[in-house]
Structure 1
Amino acid sequence: MLRPDYPITTDRLLLRPFTTDDTADVWAYQRQPEVARYLLWEPRDRDQARDAVAQMAGETRLDAEGDCLSLAVVAPELDAIVGQVELVWRSEKHREGELGYIFNPDHQGRGLATEAAREVLRLGFEELGLHRIIGRCNALNTASARLMERLGMRREAHFVQNAHVKGVWRDELVYAILRSEWQDRA
């Protein structure tokens, strides 16, 4: 089980549960076509963003396999949410999790996503005791692939046309890192 003490702080960021007051910040990036381009959903309207925030607001801990921990990534100097990170507990038996993230393009290129995602890996390995954490992305999303590589994750698979999304077949990349590899990097 993982029930973090909030807020979680890194050098430049604060990670905390979402609240309904976060809708405007989340909608600021979820409505952008360049954000939705590689995701399963189209750009969201305000109501859809509100519904997404309401769901994420309830994802504050990992009690059992299948649970998702969703965290707002706040840049304190901006007093705004710059993105979101998540950890899904994929398998209790195999001690596997999955990392996910979405960031506002207005705040990309400063290493904030790497910093937040690194903290999620730490939570998974050091606090939940996971053995392995994976990450997946659309094969065309080179920025996401580079982020996982910066985290020390290795590409394990390239699935060709494995998902039919938004009317087209897409390829998917799968990355992974083991706890032992994480500890070697720390």
Structure 2
Amino acid sequence: MLRPDYPIKTGRLLLRPFEERDLADLHALTSDPEVVRYLYWEVHDEAGTRDALSRQMAQGELTGEGQRLVLAVQLRATGQVIGQVVLKWVSVAHHQGELGFVFNRAFHGKGYAREAAEVGLRLGFEELGLHRVTAACDVLNEPSWRLMERLGMRREAHFVEDEIFKGQWGEQLIYAILAREWRSRNASRPASSATTG
């Protein structure tokens, strides 16, 4: 079971459950065709974003297998929500999880996604007790798989034309990191890079 103490603070960010006031910021993300290009859903109109927000507001804890923890990523300096991080509890028996992230295009390339994704991994390994966390992306989504590599995840598979994705054959890359690899990697990092309570 995972019920984090919110907000979770990093150097530049706050991570917390979504709230009603996040509608406009979330819509800026969900209505951008470039942001959703490699995701399983299409561009949202405002009603679609409102429905998504309603679901996400109820995903602030993990109490069972198959559930998703969905956290808004908020800039500490301005209060703007610039993205989201998702941690799925894939298997209780095998201690498996899956990491996901989506960010507003205006904030790409600034290290925010890495800062937030590291929180997702910490929650999975330190608080949920996972053994292994995976992440997947389209082979064409280079910024996403580059981030996975910066997080210390290793590429384990390249699925060729494994599904029809948005009307054409798609290809997926699968990345993973084990708890012991994550601990070893973080033991050698400076304390200033760690998240704070």
Give the TM-score, by structure 1 length: 0.98
Task: Find the residue that maps to 1:156 and give its secondary structure.
Answer: strand
Give the match for residue 30 of structure 1.
30
Give the TM-score, by structure 2 length: 0.93
Kindly provide the CA deviation profile for residues 148-177 of structure 1, in whole angstroms up to 9, marking residues without a partner as x: 000000000000111212111100000000
What count of residue pairs does the alignment treat as equivalent? 186
Residues in 1 aligned to 2:41 and 2:116: alpha-carbon distance in whole angstroms: 23
Q: After TM superposition, list the pairs within 5 Å mapping 1:68-87 onto structure 2.
A: 68-87=68-87
Shift of 1:78: 2.0
What amino acid maps onto 1:47 in structure 2? A
Task: Find the residue that maps to 1:27 and give its secondary structure.
Answer: helix
Task: Find the residue that maps to 1:160 and give its secondary structure.
Answer: strand
Give the match for residue 3 of structure 2.
3
Q: After TM superposition, list the pairs within 5 Å mapping 1:44-55 onto structure 2.
A: 44-55=44-55
Residues in 2 aligned to 1:3 and 1:39: alpha-carbon distance in whole angstroms: 27
Kindly provide the CA deviation profile for residues 116-172 of structure 1, in whole angstroms up to 9, marking residues without a partner as x: 000110000000000000000011000000000000000000001112121111000
Shift of 1:19: 1.1
What amino acid maps onto 1:29 in structure 2? L
- Runs of 4+ more than 6 Å apart: none
Give the match for residue 113 of structure 2.
113
Residues in 2 aligned to 1:163 and 1:26: alpha-carbon distance in whole angstroms: 28
Question: Could you tell me the percent identity over the aligned residues?
Answer: 54
Q: Which segments of 5 or more consecutive residues in structure 1 lack a partner in the other structure?
A: none
CA RMSD of aligned residues (A): 0.6
Give the match for residue 195 of structure 2.
none
Residues in 2 aligned to 1:161 and 1:66: alpha-carbon distance in whole angstroms: 26
What amino acid maps onto 1:68 in structure 2? R
